[in-house]
Structure 1
């Protein structure tokens, strides 16, 4: 039995024991005449059986209600004494009515309600006096005493059933959304594979053929450019495969490791091969960076260098990396071939992606042209969490 089951069992038996204790105390209190012998023994035994049965399975709730109804009538028959304040209602009787309303199907619950109401009416007939003189009032009181706990149980069960239906609907809706997202991711992955990978593979193949067919030695400019196109297309295919793994919900293969700042030399060599000189400055010990931050810094630098290639005039690109005061600082500056057509206030997709990566890691980001409009600078600070 697990902890929840033990807790429920303890609560159920505590409730039944409390009802029994109060009902037996009421019997002692109303037995003012001091009746003894078999009458009291029968009442004590029947009360104990009816109240302890409250801890039984829900399927027996109708039988328990009938037992409690019998005890209600037995008290005036055997003791010849009224209930407290002449109201034939006890804790065990109310709990029995609640259980019948809450747990039983409607026909069985209605029968249990009839038994409990009939017991109060039977008490009125046995007591006589005012009860018989006002029989209509006795009937109304009998129905009310039985109906209130019964209806509370019925209402609570309906509310719980409604909440359960809402939770089930929410779970189904969440599952449907998750399936739709997975299907959309699969469709995107399929399109990337079928279209982009085809073209990138073709670029790599044709670049390789061109490199072998080009005249001139290995150091010629044409051969170097074509070699860089071939290398860049292979890197693009590797990144594309990693992206496809993510979209398919798979863990990237060990041979498809995500890039990081440890691969910065290879990245800078590719940029240098395309033309502009790149000067790198590293201040401080970069140390071991969290994998997500390492990847984010690499992608930000990659985007900054791509923009320098696209919009620069071929002049020197300076890259400064440093780690101080718990932050990773990245600064990229280059000269411009023409005034920029947009700034950081209205960025393109690349700068928007940089801004999102920086925001994800709680960093700071700024970029823009120099005062004379002939240069561009991108500066990023990313907080480095202590892995320990």
Structure 2
């Protein structure tokens, strides 16, 4: 079955054709039986066929279909068949469908024009019927029929506008939902890239810096300095690219770092010029997935910031304390040999704060007093079980 056959508009047309066409054929037959002239019967039959053709046209070109349907209805109104109301032809429903489609698919001016044409047609039909009325038909009948016609036209027109409004609101809501999903996806990606790649590059640069200082070969030292500069440039470029990403989503099948991996993570960051130590107090207790990931990210971000922004040699201490009702993680540096220009600031701290707060924890960043050290990152997160 063709794709267009599955659309609601196509199914509507099939139903209208299947119901209205046979009934209109019956009306034409009754006109013949009642003694109408041949040209009157032919005009009525032609109008019915034109209305059904207009229905097909309106599915693809609503305005053109409405114009054809309006012309067909005008022909019915002007056909002087005694005792006959144009709206009584079942195929006249094609005009209402065309009116709906024009109203739903066009702007304010065309909508208003369609309404005025429809109302004008109803008024003209009522006047013609009133002029032709004979003594067997009450004089109020044309006016009652016209009033009903006006009500039907107004109802179809208003319902089409209301339906269009609902569709527009639903489309906007769906667009907002998709935008939020894309935003969340990008934020997950940005955060994971920052937490994993940026941290690894920072550790690599720190190791190369340490090697360039400790090597006895001047040529090798210069080469290592160039490698470190290239690594810092790459880190800056990565951070620049990450500013356009604002959502996060864990990679399926990838297991995030756990608290048990922290000693290894700290050891990997240590170099001859970067003394990174890890201490843990109290009995380790279970954490929620969000809290455990937040602990790891606090450690990663604290080490990354110290290696990136503090001039070596520098000492970084990572502490994990389970002795209270919550687990407390702290990353503190000693200030090193001053501040190192590491490029533009990143978004790591904001991301860590979001993770910690999402896990029902608290996060602080503090600068130590002069002579007492550098920066301290601390987070307090709920742990399961009693200490």
TM-score interval for Structure 1 and Structure 2 normalised by the shorter chain: 0.3 to 0.5
- Bigger RCO (CA 8 Å, 6+ sep): 2
- Of structures 1 and 2, the larger Rg is shown by 1
Give the structure-1-normalised TM-score.
0.48
Give the structure-2-normalised TM-score.
0.48
